[in-house]
Amino acid sequence: MPKGYWVSVYPTIEDPERLDVYNELAGLAVAAAGGRVLAGIGGRVDAHEAGIAERVVLIEFDSFEQAVAARASAAYQEALAEIPDGFERDFRIIEGLD
């Protein structure tokens, strides 16, 4: 069964410390849903073409359905409510190839 992935890119981050509450709640929600952070906060980025060298987060789940359910979970919805103003995020859930 193909894995599922969350891919988040933050083109605009005015004050990274203001994401602390979101990061804590999101981390708990992801772990509870069986997600594993593969790349993320503080990782190096070498951006090309229209890429932006800001925060990129990659999280793996055992299936696409599990990734979708984790995004819809009450725990993750609580985390999303804590994203402060001044942040732009491009978030996608994608299915792996195998």
pLDDT in tens, 3-12: 999 999 888 7
This prediction's pTM: 0.89
pLDDT in tens, 79-93: 999 988 878 889 999
Q: What's the confidence (pLDDT) of residue 91? A: 95
| CA gap 22, 76 in Å, rounded | 9
Q: Which of 77, 43, 74 is nearest to 59 (CA)?
A: 43
pLDDT in tens, 33-69: 999 999 987 778 888 998 877 888 999 999 999 999 9
